[in-house]
Amino acid sequence: MSRLSIGLKMRPLPFIPTISEISGSDARDIPGLEAVVSYWTEGAFSAEEWYEEVSDAWGTAGLVMKRGDEVMGFAVYGPQGYLPRADRYPLGPLGPDAALLAYLEGDPRSRKHLLVRVARDLRLRGFGGVEAIGSDLGRSRHIPTRFLLENGWEPVRRGFRLGLPYTLARADFGNTVQIGARARGFMERVKLPVLGGAPSPVTLSPHGPDGARMSPAPERARR
């Protein structure tokens, strides 16, 4: 076999989407990420600063989906202590075993695939569930509530902020049978190439595998 043919086989094809972790060094090159991080951190961090700090303290907190150099979508998630905007929504506390999925960017197919990969990442790290503050009206910088519910998430509680409706939604791991059934349902709808192994649809959480909560500052008292 020639060196040329070996080289071609080792390179990923540019038209096949790939998903990778977001790091501080590449955060500035992802369109739209800066505005999302600024919103959920209330301007406390730039995207680059946030990913450098959270990645060191907590682990992977974002994924980006690309086709070649084209960004097709991204996911932002982490412990609630690093996403203080969440405290402003009158939806009650997050579950003690759940991290917050703040945002998904991309078309519906890309978002579904990112949702599965985020869930798999958190499940393998020992998390019990994932929660998100969905916008019932599909407002910017929020995941639409309808998208979450259509993908098997359950509404936990609903509330209004500045006269607009929001829903705290959650997805649990469940038992092994439930996880397998949800995975098959996800992938039947997504119809995208399986990248890096078949993902299991699972969820997020602000506690690591040992239950230690990471936070840059003490959490504000809930009102």
Q: What is the DSSP annotation of 55-112?
A: HHHT---EEEEEETTEEEEEEEEE-GGG-GGGGGSSS-PPPTTEEEEEEEEE-HHHHH
> What's the pLDDT score for residue 173?
72
Instruction: Considering only CA atoms, give the Rg of the chain.
Output: 18
Distance CA(48)–CA(45), nearest Å, equals 8
Beta bridge partner(s), residue 38: none
pLDDT of residue 92: 83
Q: What is the pLDDT of residue 197?
A: 39
Q: With 80 as the cut, is the pLDDT of residue 37 above it?
A: yes
Q: Where are the beta strands (DSSP E) in 126-215?
A: 129-135, 143-144, 154-161, 164-172
Mean pLDDT of 56-72: 96
Least confident of 1-5, 84-88, 216-220: 216-220
Bridge-based pairing state of the strands 129-135 and 164-172: antiparallel
The DSSP H or E segment spanning 4 is: helix 3-10
Instruction: For residue 95, give the nearest of 62, 61, 133 by alpha carbon.
Output: 133
pLDDT at 222 over 90: no
In the block, tokens 């703040």 appear at 102
Measure the CA–CA gap between 123 and 130, rounded to whole angstroms.
10
Q: Could you tell me the pTM of the whole model? A: 0.74
Q: How many CB atoms lie within 10 A of CB 176?
A: 9
**Amino acid sitting at position 141:** R
Look at the alpha carbons of 223, 217, 169, 46 in this order and tell me if their dihedral is positive or negative: positive
Asked whether residue 223 carries a pLDDT value surpassing 90, the answer given is no
Give the separation between CA 223 and CA 217, rounded to whole angstroms: 18
- Check whether 182 has a pLDDT greater than 70: no
User: For residues 90 and 183, which has the higher predicted lDDT (pLDDT)?
Assistant: 90
Q: Please state the rounded mean pLDDT for residues 33-62.
A: 97
pLDDT digits (tens, 9 = 90+) for 77-127: 999 999 999 999 999 888 888 999 999 999 999 999 999 999 999 999 999
Inter-residue contact 24 to 48 (CB < 8 Å) = yes
Going along the chain from its start, the domains and CATH numbers come out as 15-190 (3.40.630.30)
DSSP reduced 3-state for 173: coil
pLDDT at 184 over 50: yes
Q: Is 104 exposed, middle or buried (0-12, 13-18, 19+ CB in 10 A)?
A: buried
pLDDT of residue 207: 38
What pLDDT score was predicted for residue 215? 37
**Low-confidence winner among 12-26, 131-145, 190-204 (lowest mean pLDDT):** 190-204
Stretch among 5-9, 107-111, 143-147, 198-202 having the lowest mean pLDDT: 198-202
